């Protein structure tokens, strides 16, 4: 039996029930599948805590020669799990230079990066921009805790601090994507606390442009009036050209 197989079976069972736990289970299973389908992935995990995601990754790479999970946490988590495929480094996750001295294999390229450490916008920004150049082409970056919905007023996990923190991180990811369309694909899984996914579409060593934050517009009637008066330009799809993102069906 593969290491932590019982935990994976538990996640599969929870993914079928009609409670919130299915969302959390499905998010972990998404990462399990991504690691499992890769031949000999190098996975870097930022944040260990109770070792849930650590177990998921270790099960996926069990018995894969040269596959490795490197987990970083500022707290001492060296006893969270046990596996010959696992290496733990106790340090701040944004101290990339120190980490590279300890684990130079990261310079050869990361297949999967999982960001689940300190949940502040500034910290996540430093992690993404520090590690991105070491992510391989077609490599994946996962971000936990990006959905503010469960923490909003009157919701099941009502917490104003978590609501604001998760929204700040999601806004950051949108701003990074907005400035790097050619380098990234971006998708999200809602439910539980949310899981975001970047897929890298550029070369090893490439860096990200600075995030592009934009102001959210309110007062719909005001902006609509500007459009009518031709004071503010707005985009309209042109059905006579192929300029939209749609893929036109071919004639059979």
Q: What is the pLDDT of residues 88-112, one digit of tens each?
A: 999 999 999 999 999 999 999 999 9
Q: What is the pTM of this model?
A: 0.87
Assess if residue 167 is contained within a domain. yes
pLDDT in tens, 117-155: 999 999 999 999 999 999 999 999 999 998 888 888 888
Q: What is the CATH number of the domain that holds 42?
A: 3.40.50.150
Is residue 244 pLDDT above 50, yes or no?
no
Assess if residue 244 is contained within a domain. no
pLDDT for the residue numbered 251: 45
Assess if residue 40 is contained within a domain. yes
Distances from the Cα of 22 to the Cα of 14, 26, 35, 153, 183, angstroms: 5, 6, 20, 22, 31
Sign of CA dihedral 214, 218, 221, 222: negative
- Say how far apart CA 52 and CA 205 lie, in whole Å: 30
> Which of 84-88, 126-130, 172-176, 217-221 has the least mean pLDDT?
217-221
**Pairing label, strands 86-90, 42-46:** unpaired
Assess if residue 215 is contained within a domain. no
pLDDT for the residue numbered 193: 86
First to last CA, the chain: 49
> Which of 44-48, 164-168, 170-174 has the least mean pLDDT?
164-168
Assess if residue 252 is contained within a domain. no
Assess if residue 71 is contained within a domain. yes
Residue partners of 26: CB distance under 8 A and separation at least 6: 15, 189, 191
Task: Say which residue the tokens 């919905």 belong to.
Answer: 149
Assess if residue 193 is contained within a domain. yes
Q: Share the mean pLDDT of the chain.
A: 89
pLDDT for the residue numbered 243: 46
> What helix, strand, coil percent values describe the chain, rounded to 5?
35, 15, 45
- Say how far apart CA 198 and CA 27 lie, in whole Å: 14
How many domains are contained in the chain? Answer: 1
- Owning domain of residue 53: 5-200
Assess if residue 209 is contained within a domain. no
Question: Of 153-157, 185-189, 238-242, where does the model show the most confidence?
Answer: 185-189
């Amino acid at each position: 039996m593969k290491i932590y197989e019982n935990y994976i079976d538990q996640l599969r069972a929870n993914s079928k029930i009609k409670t919130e736990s299915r969302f959390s289970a499905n998010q972990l299973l998404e990462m399990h599948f991504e690691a499992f389908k890769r031949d000999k992935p190098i996975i870097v995990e930022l944040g260990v805590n109770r070792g849930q995601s650590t177990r998921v990754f270790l099960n996926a790479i069990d018995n894969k020669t040269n596959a490795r999970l490197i987990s970083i946490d500022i707290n001492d988590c060296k006893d969270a799990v046990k596996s010959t495929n696992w290496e733990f480094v106790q340090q701040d996750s944004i101290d990339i230079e120190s980490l590279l001295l300890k684990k130079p294999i990261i310079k050869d390229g990361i297949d999967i990066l999982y960001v689940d450490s300190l949940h502040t916008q500034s910290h996540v920004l430093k992690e993404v921009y520090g590690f991105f150049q070491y992510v391989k082409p077609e490599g994946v970056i996962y971000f936990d805790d990006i959905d503010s919905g469960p923490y909003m007023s009157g919701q099941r996990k009502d917490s104003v601090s978590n609501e604001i923190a998760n929204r700040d991180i999601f806004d950051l990811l949108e701003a990074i994507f907005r400035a790097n369309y050619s380098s990234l694909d971006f998708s999200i899984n809602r439910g539980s606390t949310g899981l975001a996914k970047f897929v890298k579409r550029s070369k090893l060593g490439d860096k990200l442009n600075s995030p592009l934050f934009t102001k959210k517009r309110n007062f719909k009637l005001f902006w609509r009036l500007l459009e009518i008066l031709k004071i503010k330009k707005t985009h309209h799809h042109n059905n006579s050209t192929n300029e939209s993102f749609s893929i036109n069906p071919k004639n059979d």
